[in-house]
Structures are given as structure tokens and as C-alpha cells.
């Protein structure tokens, strides 16, 4: 089973979290590909083979928006919707609870859009809070190992 991690980030925090996930799953996956969303078209990003799962790892920017590099992909899903029933994915959403109602909304919005298009989320999203003082990379690595077990069960 292979994994594509699509990263949306403003200040590289989500990239570091994605790298921690990649390292944690190095011995578990056949191959893990990290993708900065701005470099990819919608088709390249979301049309994945049957043996690949997708993990959205994104921070939140501005008033609860997805980061700039992920906005074209997010907008494309809204303006050119297509059925994504074959897509199975997970979400890591980064944010800061200091911002209240917009906390981790970048990941939550992306999750909702994928679900609206028929994609199936595996497991619960990991919500990382910059205000809690915990090591986001360590939390993500631990979560990724548990999430990957769910992926394996889902594929089983």
C-alpha cells in the first residue's frame, strides 16, 4: 500500500509534520510521496491508483482558510466537482485554538469538501493545536502509525 501526503502550509509547520509522518511510516508503506499542492494539478493530486491512500496535512491561514498553496486545489474541487468515491483519505489539521471559531478550519474545510464529493475518510482527523505546547511532529508520527493500521484494515 502506498501513501501520498498532500501538504498545505504557510510557514512550513505542516511540511515538518508531514516529514514526521513520512519517517514514522517508512517501514510500513511501500512508498510515501510528499506533495506541495501548488506544484500539482487536481488530476495529478487526487487521481490515485487503487493501492494508494491520500493524507491531507494542512495548516490554517487567515480567517480559517486553507493556505495559499492549497487554495487552487481546494477551489478546483468546488468549481469543477467530480465524484471521488474511490478516494480514501485521512486528515491532519493544524491550527491555533487562540483563534476560536477558525481553529484548524483549513483541514476541516478540506475534509468536508472531499466528503461532499464522495471520498471516504479513514479514521478521525488529527487536530494539532499550536497553543497547547505539545510536539506536533511527535503527535503526528504516533497518530500516523495508528491511522495506517486503520488503512490496512480498510484495505483488508
Task: Tell me how long the chain is.
Answer: 156
Any domain includes 149: no
Residue 56 lies in a domain: yes
Put simply, whether the predicted model's pTM sits higher than 0.85 gets the answer yes
What's the domain count of the chain? 1
Is residue 129 in some structural domain? yes
Sign, CA dihedral 24-4-109-146, equals negative
C-alpha cell read off for 27: 517501514
Domain assignment of residue 125, yes or no: yes
The pLDDT tens digits of the residues spanning 113-137 come to: 999 999 999 999 999 999 999 999 9
Q: Is residue 70, in this structure, part of any structural domain at all?
A: yes
Domain span including residue 128: 36-94+107-133
Angle at 96 between CA 36 and CA 62, to 5 degrees: 60
3 state SS of 55 = strand
For the domain that residue 65 is a member of, what is the CATH number? 3.40.50.360
Q: How far apart are CA 127 and CA 121, in angstroms?
A: 14
Amino acid at each position: 500500500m502506498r501513501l501520498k501526503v498532500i501538504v498545505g502550509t504557510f510557514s512550513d509547520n505542516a511540511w515538518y509534520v508531514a516529514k514526521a509522518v513520512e519517517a514514522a511510516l517508512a517501514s510500513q508503506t511501500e512508498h510515501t510521496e510528499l506533495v506541495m499542492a501548488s506544484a500539482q494539478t487536481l488530476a495529478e493530486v487526487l487521481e490515485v491508483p487503487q493501492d494508494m491512500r491520500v493524507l491531507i496535512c494542512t495548516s490554517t491561514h487567515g480567517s480559517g482558510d486553507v493556505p495559499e498553496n492549497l487554495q487552487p486545489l481546494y477551489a478546483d474541487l468546488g468549481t469543477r466537482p467530480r465524484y471521488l468515491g474511490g478516494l480514501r483519505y485521512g486528515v491532519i489539521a493544524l491550527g491555533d485554538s487562540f483563534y476560536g471559531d477558525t481553529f484548524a478550519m483549513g483541514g476541516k474545510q478540506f475534509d468536508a469538501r472531499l466528503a461532499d464529493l464522495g471520498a471516504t475518510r479513514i479514521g478521525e482527523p488529527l487536530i494539532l493545536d499550536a497553543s497547547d505546547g505539545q510536539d506536533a511532529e511527535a503527535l503526528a508520527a504516533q497518530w500516523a502509525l495508528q491511522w495506517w493500521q486503520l488503512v490496512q484494515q480498510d484495505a483488508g
